[in-house]
Structures are given as C-alpha cells and as structure tokens.
Amino acid sequence: MAKRIVSMIGLLILSALLTGALTAAAPGPVPNVTFTLVSGLPSTMNVGDTATVVVQVDSDQEFLFAQMLPAFYFPGRGLMAENMGGDRVQNSTSATLKITFVAKGTTADFPNEGACPTGGVAPVAFVAGVRYAGGAVVSQRFPATGYYCVTVP
C-alpha cells in the first residue's frame, strides 16, 4: 500500500513537471504586426453613397489569415456593409483588407445613445486581426475607442 502511494505521488510530481516543461515550450516569439488605416469613413454620406475602408496589415511572420469585420451600433440602419462577412486573406505576411459601406437611409432620427457626441448619426467601427499557427491572435479596432460617427441626411 505504501509503495502504491509513493508511486502515485511520484507520478503526480512527474506529471506536474512535464506539464510545466510543455507549457514553457510555448510557440516562438510574439509576432510583430502593424495595422495601417489607408482610408477611413467620411463624416457625411448621402443615401446611395459608398465608401471603402482600407486597412494594410504587415507582419514579420506568416499568418494563417488576416480578416477585417464591420461593427454597427444600429445594425441594418443608416449604413450597411456590402460585404457583411468582411474581407479575408490567407497564408501571407501582408494583406490589404477592404470593406465597402453603403448609406442605406437617413440617420436623422437616430437617438444619442452615448456612442457619439450627438444623435442623428450612425456609429460604426471595424476590427482587423490576424491569426497565427499555434493560436496567437493580434487585432486592432478602428477607431481605437468609440465609433466613427457618420451622418446620412
């Protein structure tokens, strides 16, 4: 019985040491990624106007994919994205991501919900990110805080 307990304790200690060694052997260095806003959203768009947001992503390591997605404060109203699934580039170290926004209807009756300083605007943001083998993810929100406040008269 004592041998069994000693064996169990030894096995637990060995498991703990191996787990620590495996955790310490995490994937290589953290990727260095830059996100550059090439073109953003205008502050005013008329119904029917389009504006294409462009973000350039550059990495010092190859990524599995880079993706950009829109985020709406009032989804389905005021502004919509032509490509609601965003844009995606696979297996590269560089990507030019684009989302085209369309002014669908007036924002005149939009309340001031705190997302923008005044009402009557469509608060919109977008997020670009990259995913690497091993699970590392790096992302950037545009704008970094708050929203782009777009008026559609």
- pLDDT > 90? residue 27: no
Q: Rounded mean pLDDT of 132-136?
A: 94
- pLDDT > 80? residue 143: yes
Structure tokens at 96: 């030019």
Fold type of domain 33-150: Immunoglobulin-like (2.60.40)
pLDDT in the model for residue 146: 92
Q: Rounded mean pLDDT of 40-68?
A: 98
> What is the pairing mode between strands 122-131 and 50-72?
antiparallel
Structure tokens at 99: 């989302």
Q: Rounded mean pLDDT of 132-140?
A: 95
Neighbours of 142 (CB within 10 A): 19
pTM beyond 0.75: yes
Which carries the bigger pLDDT value, residue 22 or residue 74?
74
Contact assessment for residue 33 and residue 65, using Cβ atoms and an 8 Å cutoff: no
Neighbours of 131 (CB within 10 A): 16
- What average pLDDT does the chain have? 86
- pLDDT > 60? residue 92: yes
All structural domains of the chain with their residue ranges: 33-150
- pLDDT > 90? residue 14: no
Residue-wise pLDDT for 93-130, tens only, equals: 999 999 999 999 999 999 998 899 999 999 999 999 99
* CB contact set of 52 (below 8 Å; sequence gap of 6+): 39, 98, 99, 100, 101
